[in-house]
Every structure is written in C-alpha cells, then in structure tokens.
Chain A
Amino acid sequence: MTDQAKAPVESTIDKVNKTLARRYRAEKRFRLYGMLSIGFGLLALVVLFTDIISKGKGAFLQSYIQLEVTYDSDVLGVYDVNDEDQMALANFEGVVKQALRNRFPEVSSRKDKKELYQLASLGAAFELRKQLTADPQLLGKTETLWLLADDDIDTYYKTIGGEEFIGATSDKQRAWTKSLVDADEIELKFNINFFTRGDSREPELAGIWGAAKGSFFTLLITLVLSFPIGVAAAIYLEEFAPKNKWTDLIEVNINNLAAVPSIIFGLLGLAVFINFFHTPRSTPIVAGLVLTLMTLPTIIISSRAAIKAVPPSIRQAAMGMGASPMQVVLHHVLPLAMPGMLTGSIIGMAQALGESAPLLMIGLVAFVVDVPGAINDPATVLPVQIYLWADSPERAFVEKTSAAIMVLLAFLIAMNTLAVFLRKRLERRW
C-alpha cells in the first residue's frame, strides 16, 4: 500500500511544478488588471479635475479696458442728475462709444465703428451710470476709467501667446486689442461680477450669485422638510413598526425609491405639484419639494442604520427603569443616533445640491436675471445654471461654466468633508 501511494505522490509534485510558471504568470496578469482598473479610475478623476480647472480658472479674472470717459451732458441727454426721467433715458452707451472713438480716432467708416463699439461690454454703461448716480459732480467732467471689455475681446486677450483662439472677433478688433495690449490699456482684474450677479446673456456680466442663492433656498426647504420627516420615518420603522405586510411594503418602497431615476421625480413634480397643487413654477419652493421626495429615501436609510447601531442594551436599560417607548426613543436612541443621522443628511443634501435632471422639468431652466430674494421668487440652481451655460453658444461661457462647476464642487467637497468630520468626531463605536 505504501509503495503504491508513493508512485503518484512523486508524479503529483512533478505535475504541479510543471504548471507553476504558467500559473504565476496568470497571477501577475490578474494583479495587473486590478491595478490598471484602479489606475484608470484615478486617471479619470485627475483628467476630469484638471480639465475643469484648466478650462475654468480664467473665469475668475476679467478683461478691463482703460478709456478716457467724458460725462458729456449733450451725449448723455442729462442736464440735471437729480431728474429721474433724464437719468432713466440717459445714453451712457453713447459716452462709452465716444470714449472708444477718441481712443481710436483713425476709425472712420460706419461698419468699422460698429465693430469698434463691440470692444466694450454693455456692463461698461451700467458702471458709468452707477458712478454718475453716486457722484453727480462728475457730470461734464472727464475721467480715466477701467471699463469692462466684451466677452470675445476677453477671450481673445486671455489666449494671446497661449492656445489657439476660436471666437467671433474680426481682424480689426484683434488689431485694436493688440494696440491696447501694447499701450498697457487692457488688464485682467478680479471678476467680481461672477460672484455678485445673476444670469445674463452677456458672458462677461453673467454671475452665479443668483443660482447660488437659488440653491441655498432650495436646499433650505429640502433640509427643513426631509430631515424631520426622514428621521421620523426611520424611527417608526426601526422602533415601532410591527413586523407585517404593510411595514414590508414601506421598506421595499423606500429601497426602491432610492434607486428610481431622478428624472421620474421631475415628472412627479410636474404632474402633482405644478399641475395639481399649482405650486408656482421655477421657484425654489417647488424645487425643494421635489428634492425632498428624492432625498427622503437616502435620509431614511442612513438614519435607520444609525438607529440600528445603538445597542439594544441601552433600550433595555431604559425600559427596565420604566421608560415608555417614546421616552426611550427621545431620551436615549435619538441623541445617540443623531451624529449618524446628521452625516447621512449632509450626504443627502450634497446629492440634492448636485441634482439637476428633475429640476429641468419644473421650470428651473427659466432665464432668471434677478437674484432671488425669497423662496417663491423665480430662480435657478447651480447645477441647472451650469447646464444652461454649457448649452450657450458663446465661447466665453465655457470658462464661466467650468468656474461654476468649480464653485459647485467646492461646496460639495466642503459638505462631504463636514460629513466625514462629523462621523469621526461624534460617531460612537460600541
């Protein structure tokens, strides 16, 4: 028997040894696939961020042209600054045009003049109006001012000496711009408009403040509604719900709702909130309602996990002291589960902040110039603003879009960091 066994034993090792090289190669290959996969994921992340940052960093600076401006009463049609009618009709654009003509006296033909006027933005006239209103003494005086340049000039100026320029400028406009560059009369300044203004058709005047405020109001409504409701639902399901069909149904429902495409919530919002309840369209209130329904499942699921993590011994101890179920929940379970619930809610809010698909359908795509002041003012939100700008044909909106994305991502990163911080600082481990 022993001898019989020995023969195959020897050959086993030989056979095994023969396969080893091949098998180790397969092992190495497999490991490599794993590393490549992770590498691919990380590479995608790096490419995405570099792409956005390289496209968007220019938007934080904007070109300004130095011009000698004369607040000429005849051009403006203003003889008394305190006369509101005169100011309302005042021709500040004419002043800008005059300043441009003075800077480039060689331009004579109608067509060329029209092109010349395009160097300055509409915003330049707004700025002059503001100056004059603030200081009526300026009327009739001449000042050297930095005025906002047009978006195409801005794009062109930013690409000088850099990448290839694609945009709608004529050869002459480029030559003028070059002469401004040579004379040091064009300069990049911090783009304050981007952070203080609402949307605009003119890229150099478009800002994210309106969308940011819209997002703030929307999230405020979402938070105020979804946090208490979500926590209450989680408490019911974890602490009070009897084990029956109805509870099962609610559970399956919540899990499923968490996986329903967000666009379906848009359809719901359109049919129920707007068409049935006549909630005003394009407002943070309807956006907040839709996002509430969308984030509720996330908040419920994470709150349930937080409640589950509270050890049963604590409940039993409280019950043993004669506490009622409600007292157990309010005095013990809820405070202990709160950090976990907050973490989950912040993550849910971050999701809501980045969501745009359902909002397209309930009118958040409307072009809103004014910064919203209340929850029922027409507004848009950051991600939808990004969508709108990404769709705009003007070249200069590309960098505005990327910059808006950077702002949005900064908010998201801040929220997620807060969530991680909360989890680390407050979450208890049993």
Chain B
Amino acid sequence: MTSIATEQAGEMLISKTERTESQVVRDIEHGETVGEPLMEDAKMSVRNTDVFYGDKQAIFGVDLDIGKNQVIAMIGPSGCGKSTFLRCLNRMNDTVEGCRVSGELTLDGSDIYSKKMDVVALRARIGMVFQKPNPFPKSIYDNVAYGPRLHGLASRRGELDEIVENSLRRASLWDEVKDRLHSPGTGLSGGQQQRLCIARAIAVSPEVILMDEPCSALDPIATARIEELIAELRENYTIAIVTHSMQQAARVSQRTAYFHLGHLVEVNDTEKVFTSPEHELTEAYITGRFG
C-alpha cells in the first residue's frame, strides 16, 4: 500500500509544474496519502475515518498511525481539519452538537468509538492541552489535583501532594510556583498557564497527550519553554500536536502529517517532509506559497 502511494506521488511529481491548484485539489479527493502514514507497533491507529458536522464533511478517509513515544505534528492551512482530527482521537467531538465520526480508530488495538469504550476512561488515557490556556478558576494546586481527584488516583493526601509536585516538575513549572501553590491559577502568565494545563494533563498519567496549537497564544520565550517541555515529555508519552508553525513542527516532532481541506495529504519523517516533500501541495505549503 505504501509503495503504491509512493508510485502515484512519483507520477504526480512529473507533471507538477503544469497543473493548476484546483486540479491538484481534485486529485487529492481521490488520491491516497503519500509518504508513510502507517507503521508497526503503533500506539494509536486511524483507518478510513470521516468526520461530519451535520451535512458538511470535515475529514475525508484518513489513514494514520501514531507511534509510541513519538511526537507527531499535524500541519496545514487553517480550516484544513487538523484540529477536528485531533479532537476525534479522544472523542472531544462528542461534545459538539451534530458531529459524527465514522471509521476505525484504535488505542492499543481497542476501538475508541466502540460502545464498550468508556469515554471517561479513554480521556483519562488520552489527555489534551488546548489552544488557549484554560486553567480553572481555582488554585494552582487544585488545578493539577483536579484529574487525580476525579479519577481517585490518590488515596492519601501525601500521595496527591506527590502527584501534584511531580506533574509540576515534569511541566517544569514547580520552581516558579512552589511557593504559591494555593494562589489562583488564572493569576499566572500565559506561558505559565499553558504549562499548568500541561501539568494538569500529565497529572492523570495519560498514555497519549493531544496538543491543539498549544503555543498559538504565547510569546516566543514561553513557546520555547513549551517546546523544550514537549521534547522531555516524549520520553514517557505519545504526543500528537497540531501547530500552524512549520518551524515548531520541525523542532519538536519526529513525524509530520500534512492536512489539506480535510484530506491527509502526506505523512513522513519530519526531516523528510521539510527537506524533500513528496506531494506538491506539501511543498507549496512548506515553501510558503499558501497557508
């Protein structure tokens, strides 16, 4: 399957210069994803997935594997469906009125959308960090302790303290907030708030963390901190990150997936995507011709 995709991509490359963009778009509507969307020993795998909002289709037949302890970045022009796709992975789209997901999505081989799958347990395994930092209007401590308390992860006060401290340390926020754990989380700076949200997500010890443009609301320095953090977290977690910044994708991820108008156009090792993209749309995007 992979080889067929590569062959098709090769054919496309030949006539690349002579075709208009609308022709290309028509192509991707029928075309396969180029690159290597599938892999062995995947943490999560997505097959033939469509997403609809009411009558409108937002995602078209996506096949993708997400590797264990890897960072996969999803890039593409705005409105391409990358955030929608990410929100399918822990069924956050359930909360959206009229949203329908079809296809096969699995986590460690078990179907995410099966009736037997419990959404609460699923989300405890797949955490999420959102575009805008959204700390709860509670203290820093309570923000981090929120998940463990919900899920009954700590049986003693001391255990909870430990989880909070560990999570804040892993989110490299501990040193900045250890003296004011009980002041409100909303009082932190934007970057700190986002790291608090990351700490909140990892306090539940998820297996996968989904990040939806986690740095879009932050300044460059705060962004750098978060990116460092992602690199460290990779050792323990599988991370899927949506970003509109190609540089960020290049810096933090091992694999990159390029979405266009709801289609997954190309997936490959990050280095390959940015140095020698196989699909002309990917190339056009990373060279800044649109997006």
Identify the A interface with B (CB < 8 A): 1-2, 5, 8-9, 12-13, 15-20, 23
Q: Which residue of B lies closest to A12 (CB)?
A: B205
Q: In the complex the two chains form, what is the Cα distance from A16 to B69 in whole Å?
A: 22
Q: Give per-residue flags for B124-159: 1 if the beta carbon is below 8 A from chain A beta carbons, else 0.
A: 110000000000000000000000001111000000
**Which residues of A are found within 8 Å of B153, using beta-carbon distances?**
12, 15-16
Instruction: Tell me the minimal C-beta distance from B229 to chain A in angstroms.
Output: 16
Interface size on B, residues (CB 8 A): 17
Instruction: Tell me the minimal C-beta distance from A18 to chain B in angstroms.
Output: 7
Q: In the complex the two chains form, what is the Cα distance from A17 to B125 in whole Å?
A: 11
Instruction: Tell me the minimal C-beta distance from A125 to chain B in angstroms.
Output: 70
Q: Are A19 and B152 in contact (CB under 8 A)?
A: yes
**Which residues of A are found within 8 Å of B96, using beta-carbon distances?**
none
Q: Are B236 and A15 in contact (CB under 8 A)?
A: no
Q: Are A13 and B124 in contact (CB under 8 A)?
A: yes
Q: Are B235 and A16 in contact (CB under 8 A)?
A: no
Q: In the complex the two chains form, what is the Cα distance from A85 to B7 in whole Å?
A: 121
Q: Which of B167-206 contact A (CB under 8 A)?
A: 204-206
Pick the contact of B205 from A8, A19, A20, A23 — CB < 8 Å?
A8
Q: Are B236 and A1 in contact (CB under 8 A)?
A: yes
Q: In the complex the two chains form, what is the Cα distance from A15 to B236 in whole Å?
A: 19
Q: Which of B224-242 contact A (CB under 8 A)?
A: 235-237
Q: In the complex the two chains form, what is the Cα distance from A421 to B204 in whole Å?
A: 52
**Which residues of A are found within 8 Å of B205, using beta-carbon distances?**
8-9, 12
Q: In the complex the two chains form, what is the Cα distance from A13 to B122 in whole Å?
A: 9
Q: In the complex the two chains form, what is the Cα distance from A19 to B153 in whole Å?
A: 9
Q: 9 shortest A-B CB distances, which residue pairs? A: A5-B236, A19-B152, A12-B205, A16-B124, A16-B151, A16-B121, A8-B205, A1-B235, A15-B153
Q: Are A20 and B207 in contact (CB under 8 A)?
A: no
Q: In the complex the two chains form, what is the Cα distance from A1 to B234 in whole Å?
A: 11
**Which residues of B are found within 8 Å of A18, using beta-carbon distances?**
152
Instruction: Tell me the minimal C-beta distance from B44 to chain A in angstroms.
Output: 15
Instruction: Tell me the minimal C-beta distance from B117 to chain A in angstroms.
Output: 12
**Which residues of B are found within 8 Å of A23, using beta-carbon distances?**
120, 150
Q: Are A20 and B118 in contact (CB under 8 A)?
A: yes
Instruction: Tell me the minimal C-beta distance from A169 to chain B in angstroms.
Output: 63
Q: In the complex the two chains form, what is the Cα distance from A1 to B69 in whole Å?
A: 11
Q: Which residue of A lies closest to B153 (CB)?
A: A15
Instruction: Tell me the minimal C-beta distance from B132 to chain A in angstroms.
Output: 27
Q: In the complex the two chains form, what is the Cα distance from A2 to B238 in whole Å?
A: 11
Q: A19-B152, A20-B118 are in contact. Are A13 and B69 (CB under 8 A)?
A: no
Pick the contact of A12 from B69, B120, B124 — CB < 8 Å?
B124
Q: In the complex the two chains form, what is the Cα distance from A9 to B214 in whole Å?
A: 24
Q: Are B235 and A12 in contact (CB under 8 A)?
A: no
The contact sample of 28 A-B pairs, CB cut-off 8 A, is A1-B235, A2-B69, A2-B235, A2-B236, A5-B236, A5-B237, A8-B205, A9-B205, A9-B207, A12-B124, A12-B125, A12-B204, A12-B205, A12-B206, A13-B121, A13-B124, A13-B125, A15-B151, A15-B152, A16-B121, A16-B152, A16-B153, A18-B152, A19-B151, A19-B152, A20-B118, A20-B120, A23-B150
Q: Are B235 and A17 in contact (CB under 8 A)?
A: no
Instruction: Tell me the minimal C-beta distance from B85 to chain A in angstroms.
Output: 24
Instruction: Tell me the minimal C-beta distance from B159 to chain A in angstroms.
Output: 11
Q: In the complex the two chains form, what is the Cα distance from A382 to B26 in whole Å?
A: 72
Q: In the complex the two chains form, what is the Cα distance from A299 to B72 in whole Å?
A: 58
Q: Are B236 and A17 in contact (CB under 8 A)?
A: no
Instruction: Tell me the minimal C-beta distance from B195 to chain A in angstroms.
Output: 19
Q: Which residue of B lies closest to A24 (CB)?
A: B120
Q: In the complex the two chains form, what is the Cα distance from A29 to B98 in whole Å?
A: 26
**Which residues of A are found within 8 Å of B121, using beta-carbon distances?**
13, 16-17, 20
Q: In the complex the two chains form, what is the Cα distance from A13 to B125 in whole Å?
A: 7
**Which residues of A are found within 8 Å of B151, using beta-carbon distances?**
12, 15-16, 19
Q: Which residue of A lies closest to B121 (CB)?
A: A16
Q: Which residue of A lies closest to B68 (CB)?
A: A2
Instruction: Tell me the minimal C-beta distance from B128 to chain A in angstroms.
Output: 16
Q: In the complex the two chains form, what is the Cα distance from A8 to B207 in whole Å?
A: 10
Q: In the complex the two chains form, what is the Cα distance from A9 to B209 in whole Å?
A: 13
**Which residues of B are found within 8 Å of A2, using beta-carbon distances?**
69, 235-236
**Which residues of B are found within 8 Å of A12, using beta-carbon distances?**
124-125, 151, 153, 204-206
Instruction: Tell me the minimal C-beta distance from A2 to chain B in angstroms.
Output: 7
**Which residues of A are found within 8 Å of B124, using beta-carbon distances?**
12-13, 16
13 further A-B contacts with Cβ under 8 Å, apart from A5-B236, A19-B150, are: A2-B236, A12-B125, A12-B205, A12-B206, A15-B151, A15-B153, A16-B124, A16-B153, A17-B121, A18-B152, A19-B151, A20-B118, A20-B121
Q: In the complex the two chains form, what is the Cα distance from A19 to B149 in whole Å?
A: 11
Q: In the complex the two chains form, what is the Cα distance from A19 to B120 in whole Å?
A: 10
Q: In the complex the two chains form, what is the Cα distance from A18 to B150 in whole Å?
A: 12
Instruction: Tell me the minimal C-beta distance from A319 to chain B in angstroms.
Output: 36
Instruction: Tell me the minimal C-beta distance from A42 to chain B in angstroms.
Output: 24
Q: In the complex the two chains form, what is the Cα distance from A16 to B148 in whole Å?
A: 9
Instruction: Tell me the minimal C-beta distance from A357 to chain B in angstroms.
Output: 40
Q: In the complex the two chains form, what is the Cα distance from A12 to B205 in whole Å?
A: 7
Instruction: Tell me the minimal C-beta distance from A223 to chain B in angstroms.
Output: 42
Instruction: Tell me the minimal C-beta distance from A5 to chain B in angstroms.
Output: 4
Q: In the complex the two chains form, what is the Cα distance from A430 to B125 in whole Å?
A: 44
Q: In the complex the two chains form, what is the Cα distance from A2 to B153 in whole Å?
A: 20
**Which residues of A are found within 8 Å of B150, using beta-carbon distances?**
19, 23
Q: In the complex the two chains form, what is the Cα distance from A1 to B206 in whole Å?
A: 15
Q: Which residue of A lies closest to B205 (CB)?
A: A12
Q: In the complex the two chains form, what is the Cα distance from A236 to B235 in whole Å?
A: 64
Q: In the complex the two chains form, what is the Cα distance from A295 to B153 in whole Å?
A: 56
Most buried by A among B118, B204, B205, B237: B205
**Which residues of A are found within 8 Å of B236, using beta-carbon distances?**
1-2, 5
